[in-house]
Amino acid sequence: TIDMRGPVGEFEYSECGNFKINDIAHNVKRFNMVAGGTGITPCYQVVDEILRNPNDETQISLIFACNDVNDLLCKATLDR
């Protein structure tokens, strides 16, 4: 069993792995995200921002689960 929670604090992604949590700057080369149900929404926003910027080389991993595939938000977009 793994116990997780989050997001904790205010998260703001700028570009190229640069982001802030509660106004403290951070930089990463890779985001590993875990989401369930409607928790996909904040993850999707970060993924979308990274993929829309051709200069952003930040790597992304997303593990997502929902009770029923028909409940999957953004399914068509995630399938691409």
What type of residue is 70?
A: N
How far is the C-alpha of 64 from the C-alpha of 43, rounded, in Å? Answer: 10
How far is the C-alpha of 32 from the C-alpha of 29, rounded, in Å? Answer: 10
Model confidence band, residue 7 (pLDDT cutoffs 50, 70, 90)? low
How far is the C-alpha of 11 from the C-alpha of 65, rounded, in Å? Answer: 22
Question: What mean pLDDT is predicted for residues 58-65?
Answer: 91
What confidence tens digit (pLDDT) does each residue in 9-60 have? 788 999 999 999 889 999 999 999 988 887 888 888 999 999 999 999 999 9
pLDDT of res. 36: 84
Say whether pLDDT at 72 is over 80.
no
